[in-house]
Amino acid sequence: MTVSINRRTFSIGTGALALAAAGLSPAHAQQAFFRIGTGGTSGTYYPVGGLIANAISATGPAGVEGLVATATSSNGSVANISAIQSGASESGFTQSDVAYWAYSGTGLYEGKPKADDLRLIATLYPETIHLVARADAGIKTVADLKGKRVSLDEPGSGTIVDARLVLGAYGLTEKDVQPEYLKPGPAGERLQDGAMDAYFFVGGYPTGAIVELASTNNITLVPITGPEADKLLSEQKFFSADTVPEGTYKNVGETKTISVAAQWVTSAKQTDDLVYKIVKSLYSDATQKALQAGHAKGKLITLQNAVTSAGIPFHPGAEKFYKEVGALK
């Protein structure tokens, strides 16, 4: 937590210093703050969010004048949508399935108020469902999880939703495993100590927590394939087939699995002008170079991917930009 606070303070401080160096007070620059809810610090959302925040801020390579964007750690997709709804955050990252359910009041949000003012800024990159297991746990398929000690991630995360769907596809429920509810970092520590057999994590590969775990421990990725996975793909259109390439994690071979899309969402309450400028900055040549150099998933944050998997409406500011550049008609 201390690290997150220090990073946020640093981002705000450097933004103010840059404005002062330019001879502008925050008031004259009409300084605006734009928070990006991400995920746990050991996942993929947090570093990618930090890259984007630095890039679109006034101090970025093609930043928005007067803007101070910060990436904040959180419990993930569901928590980020809640923060947007309450006004505690201007924007956040979420899985495409969770965004659709929140907007439509279905799935995880059945019986709850619809988040009908949720709007899409951009689809960022595929998020792979990792099912990480100890190499000596005897887990070759999802069905082998029965009776095992399995972490499904924290309540409020998108991972726990998809973990339940995957278990269900193979005829399992949480009652069929010994469930725990931990983020990938703590789950990996318990796996390393022999106190955990496997854990789910949804995020872009390579993810730091799994890279670190694989560097000192024998792990495997359990494939999510077969007729069960095919049925899941046909029923839940927000899932796609995916493959983790060999060597992504030390001593782990190519693994077939499934994925959702990572999306950056906001509220319809955000002004069209601000969101337009943010999206224009995100897809500028300078920002694209910074993203590509900063993280493996940065290479996938492209204009081509931006308009895919749109299960909720685009924010009008984003839509305006995409239409101007021909990405949307």
Contact between 157 and 75 under an 8 Å Cβ cutoff? The reply is: yes
Residue 11 has pLDDT above 70, yes or no: no
Angle between helices 45-56 and 272-282 (to 10 degrees): 110
Contact between 148 and 195 under an 8 Å Cβ cutoff? The reply is: no
DSSP 4: H
Residue 319's SS3 state is helix
Contact between 163 and 184 under an 8 Å Cβ cutoff? The reply is: no
**CA distance readout (Å), 206 to 20, 127, 211, 223, 236:** 38, 10, 7, 16, 25
Residue 14's pLDDT band (boundaries 50, 70, 90)? very low
* Digit-coded pLDDT (tens) for 135-169: 999 999 999 999 999 999 988 777 888 999 999 99
As a whole number of Å, the CA-based R_g of the chain is: 20
Average pLDDT of the segment spanning 236-244:
87
Q: How many CB atoms lie within 10 A of CB 287?
A: 23
Q: What pLDDT does residue 19 have?
A: 39
The contacts of residue 255 (CB under 8 Å, 6+ apart) are 221, 222, 223, 243, 244
Cα separation, 315 vs 266, whole angstroms = 8
Cα separation, 311 vs 106, whole angstroms = 12
Can you list the domains of the chain with their CATH numbers?
31-123+262-323 (3.40.190.10), 125-259 (3.40.190.10)
Residue 15 has pLDDT above 50, yes or no: no
Q: What pLDDT does residue 137 have?
A: 96
* Digit-coded pLDDT (tens) for 70-100: 999 999 999 999 999 999 999 999 999 999 9
Average pLDDT of the segment spanning 292-316:
93
Q: What pLDDT does residue 12 have?
A: 36
Q: What is the pTM of this model?
A: 0.73
Cα separation, 6 vs 113, whole angstroms = 35
Task: Write b or e for each residue in 156-191: b if 16 or more Cβ atoms lie within 10 A of its Cβ, otherwise e.
Answer: bbbbbbbbbbbbebbebeeebbebbebbbbbbbebb
* Digit-coded pLDDT (tens) for 34-53: 999 999 888 889 999 999 99
The contacts of residue 266 (CB under 8 Å, 6+ apart) are 84, 90, 91, 92, 118, 119, 121, 275, 315
Q: What pLDDT does residue 30 have?
A: 75
* Digit-coded pLDDT (tens) for 186-211: 999 999 999 999 999 988 888 888 99
Burial of 155 (0-12, 13-18, 19+ CB in 10 A): exposed
Cα separation, 310 vs 100, whole angstroms = 9
Residue 1 has pLDDT above 50, yes or no: no
Cα separation, 51 vs 259, whole angstroms = 22
Among 104-108, 260-264, 309-313, the range with the most confident prediction by mean pLDDT is 260-264
Cα separation, 118 vs 90, whole angstroms = 11
Q: What are phi and psi of 63, to 5 degrees?
A: -70, 170
Q: What pLDDT does residue 21 have?
A: 37
